[in-house]
Structure formats: structure tokens, C-alpha cells
Structure 1
Amino acid sequence: MRVVDLTHTICADMPVFPGDDAPQLAQAGSYEMDGYRATMLRMSTHVGTHMDAPAHIFADGTTIDALPASHFVGKAVVVDCRDVCEGGAITMEQVRACGQAVEQADFLLFNSGWDARWGTPEYFGDYPCIDDDVLDFVIEREFKGVGFDVMGIDPIWDESLPRHKKLLAGRDVVNIENLTNLDQCGRGLFDFGCFPLKIENGDGSPCRAIAWIEG
């Protein structure tokens, strides 16, 4: 079995959504003074590789802690959209290229190749986004979640968040952002897990996303 880490490392100088505070990691215990090391961590629930719960957008939406643990594991397939140009639309053409695997998947993960820009100013650029047909397909198919290797399901400049609102309205689905290494997952179905912190009344959480692939 091969395990692929799909998660960016949390650090003080990591990219964050424009206007958000960077994570702060402060010493809370040291080997010299306390006999152990501990770190005080202060950060947004939407930093780095993270997931949005419906409560991120809607006051009556389901919170992270209300979702069962089973919601965070399942079969996934990577939609290869690396051929979509900067600022372009990811369409059903890319989704259909996955074949029958899409019908058996719990999660659709979109590989635009944008994670190669992580840590550079270009990461905040005009990344590809799914179009309305793809979003309608995701909603109708009732996936457990969708995932992206970019800053958001909406363009970074669109503060009205139309895709967030349409996806998360009235349904238990998670939106996973800032994934990486999706190119290592191959074609076809694989086992996937994306595990958030169980935060009381949580609107989202940083998470550890992994794929495990037989053979």
C-alpha cells in the first residue's frame, strides 16, 4: 500500500487568504525550563489545507463537530484539469474523462497543478475554477465532499462566494481547499481521508488529507 500526503505543512510564513492573519507558533514549554517541548498555536480555522463545513457560510449550517467521522473517509478520484488555462473554467469534459470512477466516488478532487505555486505570489493569482455544470453535477450526485489544490472553490477576487453558497446550502458536504500532491494519486478510485479537528460549533478546520493506494 502506498500512502500519499495531500497536506501542506502549517508554518508561520505559509500563504494565507488575503486579509487573514498568519499562523502564530509560540513556545509554551521548553526542554531546558520544563523538561518537555510544547507549542502554543494560534490560527484561523481556514488556514492551509482545510475544509469548510456548511456553517462556514450559513448560520444554520451543519458544523464540523456535528458531522460523523464516517463523513471524512471514502473513495476518491482525481479530476485532471491541468490543461485548463489560468483563469479558465473546469468543465464536465474534465470530469467525464475520469469514466465510471466518478459514479463510485465519495469525493471529487480537482488537480489543476496550482499547488506548484505554493509559497509564491503566483499562488494568489487567477486559478481555474469549476463551472456551474460541474457544481450542479456535484450537488446532484451528493458527494461527501470536493477538494481543490487552490485557495478556494470561488475565484480569490469574488467576495460574494457564489460557489460556496450554492454547494453548502442545505446539505452536508465539505469543501476542501489547498490540497497538494494530487498528481501522485494516479487514475481511478483510491481510498481517501481528510480529518479535521473536532471543534465545537466549528465552521471549518485545518485537516490532514491523505490518500492510500493499493499496489
Structure 2
Amino acid sequence: MCDCTPSNAKGWLGWNVPAGSPVTTAAAGPWIDLSHRLDSQTPRVPFFPAPTLEKIRQIPEHLINATRLTLVVHTGTHIDSPRHLFNDAPGLDEIPLSRLSGTGLVWPVDTGGHALIEPVHLEGAKTHLAPGEMLILNTGLHKSVGTPGYEDHPYLSQASAQWLLDQGVKLLGVDFPTPDAPVSQRAPGFNYPIHRALLANGILIVEHLTHLDSLNGQRVEVMCNALNITQGDGAPVRMLARPLVG
């Protein structure tokens, strides 16, 4: 994550947000896939290589098709575990499943052309969100994947990170590359302050979401299907959501 060598890779403060309760409200409608397809065009930050898919067995030369996938785990729709920033924090294999599933809210965000997402853009979600739930932000940027505009994305202010902590959000999902500042705006020594604030307190982060428009403003049931990677700092995710009734 960082282009510099940190002086201290410790900083895990624990699961300081609740895990939430099991889903008790009925869900309606089909599951919606919020994930980008995984191929060489999958969205990623510029300093990570594109995924490669290599056919190592192929019909008719062989009796089976088999593909070797090579990728950085922080490519495409993926989750960041606390281990991403802190060596003393849990990896993906240590994250309780209750933190990867549950209820939440898809919230539309219009910054009016400004880069920063401030608490004023989130405050309307407060009455629809309970502690221990997930918040998924839809800025509409998922429609710009593959364009320069996708790299010049909005990002959270420090005040918005604190707002998420104050609400007890257990997982933040975004339809852009990262809740931290775009790569082009990072000064030397940049240390991922938003990732650091959220992950240190157990707020998981899912990046590069898509297909959110039909869920705007709705409470949803969410399944965050992440690969169970030992000591994983991140993993590809097939994230699914469907509306809740009532």
C-alpha cells in the first residue's frame, strides 16, 4: 500500500465496532452482483499489474480446461482486511463471518463536483443505519471504469472516517478505487490515513463496487464472499446484495 517504509507496522485497536445482528427482516427480489468481472481489464490502481489468466490445460489438446490466475489481491472488487496496514491485525482467515454478511444501506453520494466526501454527504444515511451494519456508497463513478475520470475519484475526509466510526459501521463499500486520496494527489510519505483510521478499528473496506443504481437509498442484505486466504491482507470478493422489505 505504501511507497515508504513505515517505522511501526503495528496499530490494531481491535473490533471497535459491533458485528450486528443476524438478518431478521425479509428480503425481496433477486441477488444483485456488485462485483466487476475478473479479467485483464479489471479496474485497479496504477501501480498494481493487471491480472493474467493463462490456459495451462485446454480442450481438445487435453481432457480438461484449466486456468492459472495471477493477480494482486487488491485488484478489482476486493476487500481490505486490517492486516493490509497492520502486521498485528487479523488477516482474512481470522475475520468472523458475521463481519462479512448482514444488513446495511446503499447510499447515493453527490459531491457536486468536489473531491472530498464530507459528513454532510453522509448525514442523511444516519436515520437508516444501525450500529454494526454496512454502508455502501454509490457515487456513480463505477460507470466510468476504464476512463481517466475513474482515477480522479472522490475520497473521504478525516471527518467522514470519524463519522463512520461514530455510527458503528462495520464495513464500508465504495464504487471507486479507494477511500483515500487518488494516487495523483498523494504527496511523498503518504500513509493512507483513511485506511489507517478505519482498519485499525475493525471497519473493513470493499473497493471497486458496481451495479448499485437499482439499490440507491435502500436497506439491503449483503453477502461479502471473500476468499479465505491465510493471513490475507486482501482478497477478491463477489459481493451480493438484495433489498430488504419493511
Give TM-score scaled by structure 1 length: 0.91
Q: State the partner residue of 1:178.
A: 208
Q: Mapping of 1:135-154 within 5 angstroms?
A: 135-154=161-180
Q: State the partner residue of 2:191.
A: 160
Q: What is the Cα deviation at residue 103 of structure 1? A: 2.5
Q: State the partner residue of 1:114.
A: 141
Q: Judge conservation of contact 2:75–2:236 (CA < 8 Å) in 1.
A: yes
Q: Mapping of 1:199-210 within 5 angstroms?
A: 199-210=229-240
2:137 & 2:229 partners in 1: Cα distance?
26
Q: Judge conservation of contact 1:79–1:94 (CA < 8 Å) in 2.
A: no
Q: Judge conservation of contact 2:116–2:155 (CA < 8 Å) in 1.
A: yes
Q: What is the Cα deviation at residue 33 of structure 1? A: 2.2
Gaps of 5+ in 1: none
Q: Does 1:193 align with 2:223?
A: yes
Q: Judge conservation of contact 2:107–2:218 (CA < 8 Å) in 1.
A: no
Secondary structure, aligned partner of 1:34: coil
Q: State the partner residue of 1:70.
A: 98
1:113 & 1:61 partners in 2: Cα distance?
32
Q: Judge conservation of contact 1:148–1:177 (CA < 8 Å) in 2.
A: yes
Q: State the partner residue of 2:12.
A: none
Q: Judge conservation of contact 2:132–2:168 (CA < 8 Å) in 1.
A: no
Task: Label 1:59 to 1:85 Cα distance change in 2 as closer, same or farther (>3 A).
Answer: same
Q: Judge conservation of contact 2:219–2:244 (CA < 8 Å) in 1.
A: no
2:41 & 2:154 partners in 1: Cα distance?
25
State the one-letter code of the partner of 2:45. Answer: F
Superposed CA RMSD: 1.7
Secondary structure, aligned partner of 2:56: strand
Q: What is the Cα deviation at residue 11 of structure 1? A: 0.6
Q: What is the Cα deviation at residue 70 of structure 1? A: 2.1
State the one-letter code of the partner of 1:180. Answer: T
Equivalent pairs counted in the alignment come to 212
Q: What is the Cα deviation at residue 187 of structure 1? A: 2.0
Q: Does 1:35 align with 2:63?
A: yes
Secondary structure, aligned partner of 2:236: strand
Q: What is the Cα deviation at residue 23 of structure 1? A: 0.3
Q: Judge conservation of contact 2:118–2:160 (CA < 8 Å) in 1.
A: yes
Gaps of 5+ in 2: 1-28
2:97 & 2:45 partners in 1: Cα distance?
27
Task: Label 1:19 to 1:137 Cα distance change in 2 as closer, same or farther (>3 A).
Answer: same
**Please, which moves more after superposition, 184-193 or 85-94?**
85-94
1:200 & 1:104 partners in 2: Cα distance?
28
State the one-letter code of the partner of 1:26. Answer: E
**Please, which moves more after superposition, 31-40 or 91-100?**
91-100
- Identity %, equivalent residues: 27
Q: What is the Cα deviation at residue 36 of structure 1? A: 1.6
Q: From 82, 91, 95, give the equivalent of 1:54.
A: 82
Moved over 6 A (4+): none
